[in-house]
């Protein structure tokens, strides 16, 4: 491990030298690549240097434990205990930091939320989920820019695509992808029955132009008038843009801006990110055809989380985490959940169990089964 750490430190110094090269600074794309690589290993180098410093201090204090001056010897013993604990913690941290990095962790993302099963209630919950992520982003001072949105007559979101920009956005939100299930009494429910609806969340790393090259001849670009809730026309000019990538039949529609050129630019950004996700997923499937962990795939077909409003409960089914503070979570308090997810998958990677199926990896002590849910709700079955 330490040979690897020394190698990383040498690379860090090389990157520092490169970033001060005026010629590289003039080549923006190359400079961004170097800056991104340097940022990805900075924490490793800082932790390693602290580890070496603590080790040196530990050896110095061990030498003083046998000093003739009893007061000095006693102080040295106390320092040895403290430094041994700190060194052990730093060593564990270094093991985590040396795990293979997701190359997308430092990227911005396109967040895509779509109403699934459940009709109008699913669209209303999609709106609530988007607000939840929006509040979380605000607390971290990230920037959100809507690329496309589609509303229903009740004020629910049938679909929204938004660019979220900030520090390490993908590394924080990549575990949010999947099917999010809600259990609550809809506003349209006259008899007070609990309904279950679902919303899909996709998290796509923003692609740079150097990541995905798009040939103009592979694009079919159409313009039309923007529509609003209920289907009415919003703009009197053809400002909305539909872009079709012919080789993959990938369709992107952007109509949030009043300018056709701005909508086209946004649509191409979303398209690049979808094509990058598709490319990376194909590579993952070729290498790990049987692996289905949340870290490595973009699979959106299985339930990852349940939001139970009558019980004020949020359960993440992948790690068996249950929190009874749903109001705070829906207001953007996601730190505890995201930290638990990141820690869990880091520990699984350290244990070398990444090839196991997610269901086999889940801790049992906090999981709520469907039977548990029915017991807690007095035996009532949710209306589907």
The pLDDT of residue 87 is above 70: yes
What mean pLDDT do residues 173-198 have? 86
Residue 323: predicted pLDDT:
96
Residue 347: predicted pLDDT:
79
Picking from 183-192, 213-222, 269-278, which range would have the lowest pLDDT averaged per residue? 183-192
Tabulate helix, strand, coil % of the chain (nearest 5): 50, 20, 35
Residue 295: predicted pLDDT:
29
pLDDT digits (tens, 9 = 90+) for 289-307: 433 333 233 333 468 999 9
Same domain, 197 and 88: no
Residue 302: predicted pLDDT:
63
Residue 374: predicted pLDDT:
41
Residue 282, domain member (yes or no):
yes
Same domain, 56 and 190: no
The pLDDT of residue 210 is above 60: no
pLDDT digits (tens, 9 = 90+) for 7-27: 889 999 999 888 888 888 888
> Is the separation of the CB atoms in 106 and 170 below 8 Å?
yes
Same domain, 298 and 264: yes
Residue 104, domain member (yes or no):
no
Residue 215, domain member (yes or no):
yes
Domain end (from 50, 67, 97): 97
> Is the separation of the CB atoms in 295 and 171 below 8 Å?
no
Residue 133, domain member (yes or no):
yes
Query: Which pTM does this prediction carry?
Result: 0.61
Residue 153: predicted pLDDT:
87
- 311 vs 187, residue with greater confidence: 311
- 280 vs 267, residue with greater confidence: 267
Same domain, 127 and 92: no
The pLDDT of residue 233 is above 80: no
Same domain, 24 and 152: no
Candidate ranges 64-73, 206-215, 285-294; pick with highest mean pLDDT: 64-73
Residues pairing with 207 in the sheet: none
Residue 373: predicted pLDDT:
43
Same domain, 62 and 121: no
Residue 172, domain member (yes or no):
yes
Residue 21, domain member (yes or no):
yes
Tokens read off for 143: 């920037």
- 160 vs 32, residue with greater confidence: 160
Same domain, 153 and 293: yes
**Which secondary-structure segment (H or E) carries 271?**
helix 260-287
Average pLDDT, the chain: 81
> Is the separation of the CB atoms in 51 and 6 below 8 Å?
no
Tokens read off for 374: 């029915």
Domain end (from 43, 76, 97): 97
Domain of residue 329: give its range.
Answer: 109-374
- 156 vs 215, residue with greater confidence: 156
Q: Please state, in angstroms and rounded to a whole number, the distance separating the CA atoms of residues 262 and 257.
A: 6
- 331 vs 279, residue with greater confidence: 331
Question: pLDDT exceeding 70 applies to what percent of the chain?
Answer: 81
What mean pLDDT do residues 308-314 have? 95
> pLDDT category, 286, cuts 50, 70, 90?
low
Return the residue matching tokens 């699913």: 122
pLDDT digits (tens, 9 = 90+) for 236-247: 567 788 889 988
Residues 96-109 as b/e (b if ≥16 CB within 10 A, e otherwise) read: ebbeeeeebbbbbb
Q: What is the 3-state secondary structure (H, E, C) of 273-328?
A: HHHHHHHHHHHHHHHCCCCCCCCCCCCCCCEEEEEECCCCEEEECCCCEEECCHHH
Same domain, 93 and 113: no
> pLDDT category, 163, cuts 50, 70, 90?
very high
The pLDDT of residue 363 is above 50: no
Q: Please state, in angstroms and rounded to a whole number, the distance separating the CA atoms of residues 128 and 131.
A: 5
- Structural domain count of the chain: 2
Output the DSSP codes for 159-173: EEEEEEESTTHHHHH
Residue 183, domain member (yes or no):
yes
Residues pairing with 165 in the sheet: 143
Residue 370: predicted pLDDT:
44
**Which secondary-structure segment (H or E) carries 253?**
strand 250-254
The pLDDT of residue 191 is above 60: yes
> pLDDT category, 359, cuts 50, 70, 90?
very low
What mean pLDDT do residues 343-347 have? 83
Residue 375: predicted pLDDT:
45
pLDDT digits (tens, 9 = 90+) for 181-190: 999 988 767 6
Same domain, 41 and 147: no
- 209 vs 118, residue with greater confidence: 118
CATH assignment at residue 164:
3.30.70.1660
Residue 384, domain member (yes or no):
no
Measured torsion, CA atoms of residues 361, 364, 365, 371, in degrees rounded to the nearest 10: 140
């Amino acid at each position: 491990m330490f040979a690897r750490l020394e190698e990383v430190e040498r690379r860090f110094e090389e990157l520092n030298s490169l970033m001060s090269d005026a010629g590289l600074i003039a080549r923006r794309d190359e400079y961004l690549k170097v800056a991104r690589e340097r940022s990805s290993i900075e924490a490793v180098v800082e932790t390693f240097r602290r580890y070496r410093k603590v080790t040196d201090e530990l050896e110095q204090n061990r030498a003083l434990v046998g000093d003739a001056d009893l007061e000095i010897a006693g102080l040295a013993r106390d320092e040895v205990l403290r430094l041994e604990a700190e060194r052990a913690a730093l060593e564990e941290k270094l093991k985590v930091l040396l795990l293979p990095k997701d190359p997308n962790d430092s990227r911005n993302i396109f967040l895509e939320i779509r109403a699934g099963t459940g009709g109008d209630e699913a669209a209303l919950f999609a709106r609530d989920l988007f607000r939840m992520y929006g509040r979380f982003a605000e607390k971290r001072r990230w920037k959100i820019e809507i690329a496309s949105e589609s509303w229903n007559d009740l004020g629910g979101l049938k679909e929204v695509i938004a660019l979220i920009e900030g520090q390490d956005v993908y590394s924080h939100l990549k575990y949010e992808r999947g099917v999010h299930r809600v259990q609550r009494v809809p506003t349209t429910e006259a008899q007070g029955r609990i309904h279950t609806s679902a919303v899909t969340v996709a998290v796509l790393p923003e692609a740079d132009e150097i990541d995905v090259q798009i040939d103009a001849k592979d694009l079919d670009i159409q313009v039309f008038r923007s529509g609003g809730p209920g289907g009415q026309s919003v703009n009197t000019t053809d400002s909305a843009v539909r872009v079709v990538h012919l080789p993959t039949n990938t369709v992107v529609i952007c109509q949030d801006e009043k300018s056709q050129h701005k909508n086209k630019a946004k649509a191409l950004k979303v398209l690049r990110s979808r094509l990058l996700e598709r490319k990376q997923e194909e590579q993952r499937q070729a290498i790990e055809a049987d692996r289905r962990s949340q870290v490595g795939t973009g699979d959106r077909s299985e339930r990852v989380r349940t939001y139970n409003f009558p019980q004020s409960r949020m359960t993440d089914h992948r790690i068996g985490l249950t929190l009874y503070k749903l109001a705070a979570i829906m207001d953007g308090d996601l730190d505890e959940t995201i930290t638990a997810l990141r820690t869990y998958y880091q520990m699984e990677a350290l244990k070398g169990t990444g090839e196991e199926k997610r269901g086999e990896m889940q801790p049992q002590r906090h999981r709520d089964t469907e039977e548990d849910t029915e017991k807690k709700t007095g035996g009532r079955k949710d209306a589907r």
